[in-house]
Amino acid sequence: MLTSGKILLHLIFYFIPLVTRSH
């Protein structure tokens, strides 16, 4: 659970700049 949460957080943080750049 903890690992999944950390991976998800990393993915979200990695996608934030991508979405902001696309917008």
pLDDT in tens, 1-23: 689 999 999 999 999 988 888 76
DSSP alpha helices (H): ranges in 1-23? 2-22
Distance CA 3, CA 17 (A): 22
pLDDT of residue 2: 80
Q: What global pTM score does this model have?
A: 0.45
pLDDT of residue 9: 94
